[in-house]
Amino acid sequence: MNNKTDISFSNTPADELYSTLLTSIYDAFDNNAEYINFKECTITKPKIVYDTKSKKTIWSNFGKNCKEINRTLLEIKNFTEKELTTTSSINQAEQLLIKGKYKPELLISNFKKYMNLYVQCHSCKSLSTELTKHKDFNLYTINCKKCRCIRNY
Ligand SMILES: [Zn+2]
């Protein structure tokens, strides 16, 4: 047992918590911000409105958001449906139309969850990664194009 090791182990989660808190504070105070911060990365803030007529939540810059994180529209559509247990469709303008009323905060936090699980390289924080799903075993691999780090699940 040595104290130095204990300190270095306890530092990482605390730092992560601190940056998560900073991100939440940033989001809470700046609802009109054009961008959101996600662990050292900046992406366009998802624009989400509720359409009372169709009773659908519209993610209007969905196509742009998917391209920014290098994933297909279908991939994020499926994840969103699974997380919210609802159905959705993509229109010509690459907007996601989600059945039901959902708060923008919830959709943004789901989007961040997706980035954390399936996009961001945990070594260099790059969003420039490639996702390979191994359907038979429910496993997946993330290859980072920047630092070449390979993460298996
Ligand atoms: Zn990397």
- Ligand 1 centroid–CA 120 distance in Å is 8
Question: What is the total residue count of the chain?
Answer: 153
- Ligand 1 centroid–CA 17 distance in Å is 21
Distance CA 47, CA 49 (A): 7
> Cα-Cα-Cα-Cα dihedral of 9, 10, 13, 15, to 10°?
-110
- Ligand 1 centroid–CA 10 distance in Å is 23
Q: Which of 42, 37, 7 is nearest to 19 (CA)?
A: 37
Task: Write the pLDDT tens digit of every residue in 94-122.
Answer: 999 999 999 999 999 999 999 999 999 99
Task: Write the pLDDT tens digit of every residue in 58-88.
Answer: 999 999 999 999 999 999 999 999 999 999 9
Tell me the average pLDDT of the chain.
Answer: 85
Ramachandran class of 148: left when φ > 0, alpha when ψ lies in -120 to 50, beta otherwise: left
- Ligand 1 centroid–CA 3 distance in Å is 30
Contacts 24+ apart (CB under 8 A), 23-27: 27/105, 27/108
Binning pLDDT at 50, 70 and 90, where does residue 21 land? low
